[in-house]
């Protein structure tokens, strides 16, 4: 468990809070508790709104533009909830090839389906032509759902490269009692193992197959919407050695 002294020492860079599939944080309040925690810590944060139903690439490009316009030339931490964690990984990887206009020190994922959501494996990938047409007509390509299947993410993980200059961290949650929001889908998700109601723990935990990382904890009692622990930033304090070592590490799960 963290000491009060550790929590009292601030870290250096702003935090970008990246929302997941179908989310509008200003309406849902999905980052509300984390925003409150960061505010009390005196940490600057930014909660961008990116296409809720867009595919990985569409969401990432909008995200890059928003961060660059606000933090040009600066270093940031990326927090990604659910699909937002995939976007955080994606733009960290892009930073190896392109000048994004800002630097990334860490990527921290919360309940992110790194290996996909097995219970939606029936969802087909959208043809490129249809996605481009939808984007031209209504401003989004609606590729998100098909981008979150186990099959799609397996292929994605083979293609994406981790940025050696970035440190990667993950949080996961699970519940044995489904909350009302996830009651209809909980049984289908539970078939594939421990779950937060939507994403299985086996998919959310960053492990060796994804490269060097630190898994910060698997928190009992948190469903998919609430997969953000009370103190989500133990790794970002500037004196913490986890911030500068590539791992792998694994901290004890919290309950």
Residue by residue, DSSP assigns the chain as ---HHHHHS--SS-EEEE--TT--HHHH-TTHHHHHHHHHHT--EE-----TT--HHHHHHHHHHHHHHHSTT-EEEEEEETHHHHHHHHHHHHTTTS--SSEEEEEEEES--TT-BGGGTTPPPPPHHHHHHHHHHHS----TGGGGBHHHHHHHHHH----TTSEEEEEEEE-SS--GGGTTTHHHHHTTSSBSSSSBHHHHS--GGG-S-EEEEEEET--STT---SS--TT-STT-GGGT----EEPPP--
CB of 84 closer than 8 Å to CB of 145? no
Domain residue limits, the chain: 4-250
Q: How confident is the prediction along the chain (255 residues), in pLDDT tens digits per residue?
A: 333 333 444 567 999 999 998 888 989 888 998 999 889 888 999 999 999 888 899 999 999 999 999 999 999 999 999 999 999 999 999 999 999 999 999 999 999 999 999 887 765 555 555 445 445 554 454 567 778 889 899 999 999 999 999 999 999 999 998 888 888 999 999 999 999 999 999 999 988 889 888 898 898 888 888 777 666 776 676 545 455 444 444 444 443
Task: Identify the pLDDT of residue 2.
Answer: 36
Backbone angles phi, psi at 35, to 5 degrees: -60, -40
The pLDDT value recorded for residue 198 is: 92
The structure's pTM equals 0.84
Dihedral of alpha carbons 214, 220, 223, 228, sign = negative
**pLDDT at residue 248, rounded to an integer:** 42
Nearest alpha carbon to residue 169 among 251, 52, 82: 251
Find where tokens 């960053």 sit: 206
Q: What angle do CA 50, 214, 16 make, to 5 degrees?
A: 25
Domain at 4-250: CATH architecture: 3-Layer(aba) Sandwich (3.40)
Of the candidates 40, 92, 19, 41, the one whose C-alpha atom is nearest the C-alpha of residue 238 is 41
Sign of CA dihedral 92, 11, 113, 29: negative
Q: Which two tokens stand for residue 235?
A: 């790794």
Return the pLDDT at 251.
Answer: 42
Residue 190 has what pLDDT? Answer: 94
């Amino acid at each position: 468990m963290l000491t009060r002294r550790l929590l009292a020492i601030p870290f250096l860079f702003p935090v970008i809070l990246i929302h997941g599939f179908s989310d509008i944080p200003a309406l849902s309040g999905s980052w509300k508790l984390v925003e409150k925690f960061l505010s009390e810590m005196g940490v600057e944060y930014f909660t961008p709104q990116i296409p809720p139903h867009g595919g990985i690439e569409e969401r990432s490009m909008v995200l890059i533009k928003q961060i660059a316009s606000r933090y040009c030339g600066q270093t940031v931490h990326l927090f990604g909830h659910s699909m937002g964690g995939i976007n955080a990984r994606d733009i960290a990887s892009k930073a190896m090839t392109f000048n994004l206009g800002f630097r990334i020190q860490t990527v921290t994922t919360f309940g992110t389906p790194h290996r996909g959501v097995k219970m939606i494996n029936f969802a087909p990938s959208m043809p490129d032509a249809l996605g481009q047409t939808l984007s031209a007509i209504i401003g989004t390509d609606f590729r998100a759902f098909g981008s979150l299947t186990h099959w799609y993410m397996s292929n994605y993980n083979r293609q994406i490269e981790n940025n050696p200059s970035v440190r990667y961290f993950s949080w996961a949650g699970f519940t044995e009692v489904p909350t009302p929001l996830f009651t209809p889908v909980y049984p289908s998700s539970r078939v594939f193992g421990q779950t937060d109601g939507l994403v299985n723990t086996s998919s959310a935990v960053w492990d060796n197959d994804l490269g060097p990382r630190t898994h910060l904890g698997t928190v009992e009692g948190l469903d998919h919407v609430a997969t953000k622990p009370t103190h989500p930033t133990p790794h970002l304090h500037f004196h913490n050695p986890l911030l500068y070592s590539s791992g792998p590490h694994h901290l004890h799960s919290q309950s």
